[in-house]
Amino acid sequence: MPRVPDRPGPAAAPGPNDPEPTPESARTAESPAPRSTAASGPAAAVGDDWEARVAGILVGLPRRLRPLLTWLAKQWVGRILARIAAGLVRVQIFDRSMTLAAQAFTSIIPVLILMGALIGPGDSSRLMEIAGLPDAARSMFVDAVRQGELGAFGLVGSLLVLVSSTGLARALARAYTAVWGARQAPSGARAAWRWFATVLTLAMFMVGTRLLGWATRDLPLPHLSLALLQFAADCAVATLLPWLVLGSAVRPRLLAAGGLIFALAMIFLRPAGEVFLPIALRSSADRYGTIGVAFAYIGWLYVVSFCLLLTAVLGQVIAEDEGFPGRLVRGERPPATGGPLR
C-alpha cells in the first residue's frame, strides 16, 4: 500500500574529492528504473493508478485519520467500493440511464411496430397475447400496427426507421466507452452493422424473453426451465451488447463479468417488474391515456438501463482488480509466493 510521501530534503553538495559527472552517468541517473514485466497489464495499470490516488488523498488528510483510511484501502472490500463509487461518478449513471431509456423507447418501439407490420396485424395480436403483455400495452401496439401497415412504411420509411434506431447503439457505445475507459468505439461505415445488430438484438431480446414462458410451459419443470433460460439470455445480451459497440477494445472474457452480474440482478428485478409494471401501465392509461402508457414504459426502461450500467461498472471494477476475483476473471495464475519448494 502506498506510504504518505515525505518532502525531499536538499541534495548534498559534491565534495572536493568526488569525480566529475560524465554525460553517460548523468543520463543514467535521470532515467527511471525499468518496470518489472510481471507488473504489466490492465491490473497493474489500475493498481498503480489506485495507489497514486490513495497517496494523494492521504496527503491532504489529518494525520489521525491516515492509519484508518490506509487500513481500509488495503482491504478488498474498501478498494472495490471506492472504485465502484469513482466509476459511477465517471459514467454519470443517472444522466446516462435516462438517455438510454429515452433512446430505447424511441428506437426499439418503432422497430417492433415495423416487425409487426411485416407479419400483419392478426399475427401481431396473437404474438402479443402469447407474450403476455398487459392489456394497455397490447392495445397500443396493435393500434399502432394497424395504422402503420407495411404499405404505410414503404421501403424508404422502413430504412429511415432502421437508421434512426441506431441512435440507441451510439448511446450505448458512449456509455460503455466511459465504463471501460476505452479510447474510442468503432465508428463510421465499418461500424454500421454493429449498430443495426445492437438494435435488432435488443428488439429480439424484449420479445424473446416474453415468449420463453410459452415455450417452456410443456417442459417437465417449466418454472425452473424458464428461470434458467432467462438467466442465460440476460447474461448473453449483457455480454454481447458491449462487445458489439466496443469491438475489440475489451476482451469478451472481461465483459462476461458484467453480464453475469446483470443476470443475477434480473433474477430479482424481473419479478418486481411483472408485479408493478402492469399496475403502473393500467393506472397511467386510466389517467392520461396512451401518453401515460408511454411514460410508464420509459420509467421501467430507466430502471433497466440503470441496472445495466450499474452491473457494467461492477463487472469492470472486478475484472480489472488485482485481487483474486480479478485474476479469476482474466484467467491469470496467482503470483508465486517465493517460498521454499517442498
Q: Give 69's contacts (C-beta < 8 A, 6+ positions apart).
A: 57, 58, 61
Whether the Cβ atoms of residue 261 and residue 311 lie closer than 8 Å to each other: yes
Name residue 211's amino acid: L
Distance, CA of 95 to CA of 196 (rounded, Å): 24
Q: How far is CA 52 from CA 38, 197, 275, 290, 316, in A?
A: 19, 40, 47, 53, 19
Q: How far is CA 148 from CA 115, 144, 159, 160, in A?
A: 11, 6, 15, 14
The pLDDT of residue 28: 42
Residues of the chain with pLDDT under 70: 1-62, 65-66, 69-70, 73, 119-157, 335-342
The pLDDT of residue 114: 75
- 77 exposed, middle or buried (CB, 10 Å; 0-12, 13-18, 19+)? exposed
Backbone angles phi, psi at 51, to 5 degrees: -65, -40
Q: What's the pLDDT tens digit per position in 204-251? A: 888 888 778 777 888 888 888 889 999 999 999 999 999 999 988 889
The pLDDT of residue 304: 94
pTM, two decimals, is 0.74
Whether the Cβ atoms of residue 142 and residue 124 lie closer than 8 Å to each other: yes
User: Dmax of the chain from CA atoms?
Assistant: 100
Element (H, E) at 189: none
Eight-class DSSP state of 318:
H
The pLDDT of residue 171: 93
**CB atoms closer than 10 angstroms to residue 108:** 20
Whether the Cβ atoms of residue 175 and residue 100 lie closer than 8 Å to each other: yes
Whether the Cβ atoms of residue 245 and residue 173 lie closer than 8 Å to each other: yes
Name residue 105's amino acid: F
Where would I find the H helices in the chain? 23-30, 42-59, 66-74, 76-91, 93-119, 121-131, 135-147, 150-180, 192-215, 222-246, 252-288, 290-319, 324-330
Backbone angles phi, psi at 217, to 5 degrees: -70, -25
Distance, CA of 221 to CA of 229 (rounded, Å): 12
